[in-house]
Amino acid sequence: MKKVVVTGLGVVSSIGIGKDDFLKNLIKGVSGIRRVALFDTAHFKRHYAGEISNFNPSDFIPSEILPFIGRASLFSLVAGKLAFKDAGIKESEIRKKKTTILMGTTMAEAGIYDFSSELLFKEKWNGVTNTLLLNAFTASIPRNLGYILKLRGRNFLLPDACAAGNYAISYGYDLIRKGDADLVIAGGSEALSRVAFQGFQRLYAMAPKKCRPFDKNRKGMLLGEGAGILILEEEKHAKSRKANIYAEVLGYGLSSDAYHMTIPKKEGIEKAMKKAITKSNISIRDIGYISAHGTGTVQNDKNESLAIKEVLGKHYRKVPVSSIKSMLGHCMGAASAVEAIACCLSIKESVIPPTINYKTPDPECDIDCVPNKARKATVKVALSNSFAFGGNNCCVVFGKG
């Protein structure tokens, strides 16, 4: 079977646009959490999120297109263009290959529903245009990516919520290994919306101002937004064009809890982690870093910690485990894609990002969560955990390329 490698990284986040700014601020422990300005939160109990405030898509995309594309699609388009540039592949060259687009999301262009419902509430019926409706379709994110880039290969949206990005990477890995694709554009994209913001508040899952994964006094998650895209290709092809290889995708593991809509089950997490380790042909002692799902909610962090301890056994204290959601917030469908990028950069740059806002140890989460400061370390293997609502779990293993 063919080896699958990562040759391009594109990221749009609240702490940086492009992998260099993203990595710089990630390692500094910069927080992208700020008071929401995208919509009015005056009637909400919570007011903070990882909103992207310095985003100018016209730097990457023709300005005449901008009014016709939703915010989540714009994020993915910019991340895609950054990933192609980073991979050293011209867009014209991509069109000659068997190319597949795989994008994950939780709520797609939910911001368009916000806007259209506001128009209807004000009885501005003519404001609901054809363009608005076309962009409201769930599959608009990969469709817009394929349309703008003129790519006519496979085109999929994976609506697997918070694990969607990892599902996209896993499917892309399978397609390349089997020879069904030469190159895969895999990732996830999500934009903040009123409906998501209020929805998570109604679940009583949101913290007031700070996300504190694994801290005893954690109060919940905070939402974020952005996009992460990885360019996947077969190793021999990448080497033939002398591409920069960030990491190899070694394998993945899937599981379904069939337990609870919002609370992950420890046994389901364990199963996905164990499958990923087994399919990647690695030992637990090979793992140098775990990128935690780490939402900052009481049950998630507890169950993830217990699962890590169960899977790693006595070795668990020797493996650094951090949650970058402490800096970005929870980017929903983009979360695991952005975290996969962090894993690739961790391997390439020999550094482990921190879990910020950590103050009080929790005996139920007695893992090494890399508190507050990044750590220089040689990382040969990184495990990316992602656990979605409905119990959809996906863990991906990256190795040194």
Run of H or E residues at 251: strand 247-256
Counting as low any pLDDT under 50, the low residues of the chain are: none
Identity of the residue numbered 172: G
Marked catalytic residue, from 330, 331, 343, 394 = 330
pLDDT of residue 111: 64
Distance between CA atoms of residues 331 and 32, nearest Å: 12
CA distance 389 to 293: 12
- In angstroms, rounded to a whole number, what is the distance separating the alpha carbons of residues 339 and 95? 28
- pLDDT of the residue at 395: 98
User: What integer pLDDT is reported at residue 122 of this predicted model?
Assistant: 60
Rounded Cα distance, 203 and 46, in Å: 12
Q: The pTM is what? A: 0.94
Answer whether 187's CB lies under 8 Å from 165's CB.
yes
Active site residue 293: yes
What would the two tokens of residue 377 be?
């370390």
How many angstroms separate the CA atoms of 125 and 114, rounded?
15
Among 47, 237, 293, 343, the active-site one is 293
Cβ neighbors of 348 (< 8 A, separation 6 or more) are 246, 247
Residue 162 annotated in active site: yes
- Cβ neighbours, 10 Å, residue 92: 8
Q: How far is CA 164 from CA 153, 171, 227, 388, in A?
A: 20, 11, 12, 8
Whether 251-399 and 4-240 are alike in CATH topology: the answer is: yes
H-run or E-run covering 184 = strand 183-190
Note whether 290 and 320 are within 8 A (CB). Answer: yes
Q: Please report the pLDDT score of residue 134 as a whole number.
A: 66
Burial of 296-318, coded b for 16+ CB within 10 Å and e otherwise, reads: bbbebbbbbbbbbbebbeeebee
Sketch the domain layout of the chain as residue ranges.
Answer: 4-240, 251-399
The topology under which CATH files domain 4-240 is: Peroxisomal Thiolase; Chain A, domain 1 (3.40.47)
Q: Which numeric CATH code is attached to 251-399?
A: 3.40.47.10
Count of other CB atoms within 10 angstroms of residue 389: 17
